[in-house]
Amino acid sequence: MTVSQIQVLLVEDEPAQRELLAYNLEAEGYAVRRAENGEEAMMLIDEAAPDIIILDWMMPLLSGIEVCRRVKTRPETREIPVIMLSARSEEVDAVRGLDTGADDYVIKPYNLRELMARVRNQVRRVRPAASGEALTFDDIALNAETHRVMRGEQEIKLGPTEYRLLVTFMEKPSRVFSRDQLLDMVWGRDIYVDTRTVDVHIARLRKALTKQGGTDPIRTVRGTGYALG
């Protein structure tokens, strides 16, 4: 509801993958345009420049690598963020070596949430107004761009995990998250970590948030998980 809707160009030849991703992007509020191959992608880019491009690197007709190179070469499209999807980490290295200028790389099979986060990140870079930047809850303010957290006038210093934890909470205040959900969202879907680790980080986050006074904003929901507020 800020300015206009954010345009995502999704380039992926495998229909199932494409629709899965498109579905999720649309659920997040993006306008998705689809392309099956590099050639189609270039046509759509010429037609109307998207805000961000998600690009499978292996495609018929015109590879993702080449598309990326062209986008990053032309002055009028150079600023558009490109996220490259590739099948394995070795490929990422290879692609990176080709110096296509992609802004981010995601290895398949990707964690959907993580990919979404990366999309958000790139979008924020180019369209700061479009993605709600400063989250606030009560007297806590979190600036996603600067990674700064303030409580009242005081700055709160957080470690990376505590920060992500807080972001997760602040994106959906009051919502209860199970420990498993938090592990998925904050640590990553395939990480194996004891669920009690969540408790420890909650404790650390609590300590940091209440260090300079103020009430504990995190609510424990016994038998279920935690929530902000």
Strand partners, 148: 143
Q: Residue 221, interface with its own copies (CB under 8 A)?
A: yes
The stretch among 87-95, 111-119, 153-161, 169-177 that binds DNA (CB under 7 A) is 153-161
String marking each residue 100-119 x if it binds its own copies according to CB under 8 A: ------------xx--x---
Q: For residue 31, give the 3-state DSSP assignment.
A: strand
Q: How many CB atoms lie within 10 A of CB 153?
A: 7
- Both tokens of 158, joined, read 């957080």
Helix (H) or strand (E) holding 206: helix 196-210
Map tokens 């491009």 to a residue: 53
Check binding of 113 to DNA (CB under 7 A).
no
Measured CA to CA, the distance from residue 64 to residue 41 in angstroms comes to: 9
- Binding-site size, its own copies (CB under 8 A): 25
Binding flag, residue 201, its own copies (CB under 8 A): no
- Smallest gap from residue 160 Cβ to DNA (A): 4
Asked whether 68 and 100 are in contact (CB, 8 A), the reply is: yes
User: Does 134 sit near DNA (CB under 7 A)?
Assistant: no
Contacts of 112 (CB under 8 A, 6+ apart): 24
**CB atoms inside a 10 Å sphere around CB 29:** 11
Residue/partner pairs of 18-24 with CB below 8 Å, 24 or more apart: 21/54, 21/115, 24/112, 24/116
Query: Considering the complex, what minimum distance in angstroms separates the CB of residue 6 from DNA?
Result: 20
How many residues lie near DNA (CB under 7 A)?
26
Query: Which of these segments, 1-9, 41-49, 97-105, 156-164, binds DNA (CB under 7 A)?
Result: 156-164
Which part of the chain contacts DNA (CB under 7 A), choosing from 37-45, 135-143, 167-175, 220-228? 220-228
What residue 97 binds from its own copies, DNA, none (CB within 5 to 8 A, per partner kind)?
none
β-strand partners of 108: none
Among 127, 148, 179, 204, indicate the residue that binds its own copies (CB under 8 A).
Answer: 148
List 48, 97, 99, 146, residue binding its own copies (CB under 8 A): 146
Q: Which does 227 bind (CB under 5 to 8 A by kind): DNA, its own copies, none?
A: its own copies
- Give the nearer residue to DNA in terms of CB position, either 129 or 196: 196
CA angle 104–108–110, rounded 5-degree value: 75
| Chain contacts with DNA (rule: CB under 7 A) | 157, 159-162, 187, 191-194, 196-197, 199-204, 206-207, 220-225
